[in-house]
A and B are shown apart, each in its own frame.
Chain A
Amino acid sequence: MACLPDHKILAYLDDEITSIEQSLIRDHLLICPGCRQKADRYAQLHKILAQPVNSEPPAWLVPQIMKRIYAETPHYTAIAALIAASFIFFVTWIYIYFDFSSSSLIQALRLTSDSTASWLVNIIKTISVIYTFVQAAFKASHAFLSMLLNTLPGTTLVIAFVLTFSGLLLFATKRWLLKKAGAVKK
């Protein structure tokens, strides 16, 4: 057998040849010091390549990436809170719009004004004006907050709860007044 070309030696070392060729090459390497030296060098190279000199990334790399990734992404809990807040806001707003405008409240007040102390009327009037104002402010801030998604979902939730609670309080007051007026009428 003639001397081995480099690619044959490499294929032999890589186990990428037929078993017949393999034994032929092995036999040649036994009798030919030149090819054996070449094969030894390639084997040494393989050994070195199989043990790469790994470069250590700086220790702060992973923590920094974590910070960047999770600052840029809103948390699932934050999104859930925002959805809940939006829902509560929506329900409150529908309530207020259809049933609960300050005019309907004042109408209810008028029905009962003869039998209710005037200070109560004034207080409720003031509250309903403030309520309308807060509602508008909340609507604006909500639009802003949903744009920023990530920002203060807790605050949105608190505002929505306050609005719902005070809305229900006003609703109950109106009911109470109407009931009273009905009683007066009877």
Chain B
Amino acid sequence: MIVDEDQVLIKKTLQGEKKAFEELMRKYEKRIFSFVIRMVRNEEVAIDLTQDFFIKIFTVLDKYNFEFKFSTWAYRICYNLVIDHIRKNQSQVNSLDDDSISSKEMLSSENVIRHDGFNNLSQEETRLYIWQMVENIPTKFRELILLRYVQELKYEEIAEITELPVGTIKNRIFKAKEILKKEMEKDGLPA
């Protein structure tokens, strides 16, 4: 059995130590929130979902199996929560539609970039721009890019979380990168 820092915190939480769960949340809040907000693209919804996620984790913590890594288990719960939310709201909210790339932020960011001229973009601006592009690619690509790069997970871990075959995941991440590279070239970002 692996006993890592997370698992020590979980044991303490299960023994009733409040501070331990707070520490666990502090460790994961940024990564979870970054993932959720990029998936749902709405701050209020992301805050609610992040809260729901941690409360859910707390209530099912006694069911956590210490033979597995906590982060994989937690991300899987988070992923399911977010995907459920997106599915429920897909019909009502257009901006969450898989193939529509029509968010206001994107249009305005493009305008800003056009005015400044591509070649004057700083590295930081390029970085922000690409991450904005990530938010606008279809969900099935976006979720994998986020799991890979925001949550820093291995392909095998992503496969466990999404229940997709590793081959499919690699293929979709490759497609996502192709899309992003095309966007970079279309907008003439510096190489």
Q: Which residue of A lies closest to B26 (CB)?
A: A62
**B55 contacts A by Cβ under 8 Å:** yes
B127, A48: Cβ atoms closer than 8 Å: yes
| Residues on the A chain within 8 Å of B54, using CB | 65, 69
Q: Which residue of A lies closest to B29 (CB)?
A: A57
A68, B51: Cβ atoms closer than 8 Å: yes
Number of chain A residues whose Cβ lies closer than 8 Å to a Cβ of chain B: 31
A54, B30: Cβ atoms closer than 8 Å: yes
Number of chain B residues whose Cβ lies closer than 8 Å to a Cβ of chain A: 38
CB<8 Å pairs between A and B, sample of 22: A38-B181, A41-B181, A41-B185, A42-B181, A44-B126, A44-B184, A49-B130, A49-B134, A49-B148, A49-B149, A54-B30, A54-B34, A55-B38, A56-B30, A57-B30, A57-B50, A62-B25, A62-B26, A64-B51, A65-B25, A66-B18, A68-B55
Chain B positions near chain A (C-beta within 8 angstroms): 16, 18, 21-22, 25-26, 29-31, 33-34, 37-38, 46-47, 50-51, 54-55, 58, 126-128, 130-131, 134, 145, 148-150, 174, 177-178, 180-181, 184-185, 191
| Residues on the A chain within 8 Å of B130, using CB | 45, 48-49
| Residues on the A chain within 8 Å of B134, using CB | 49
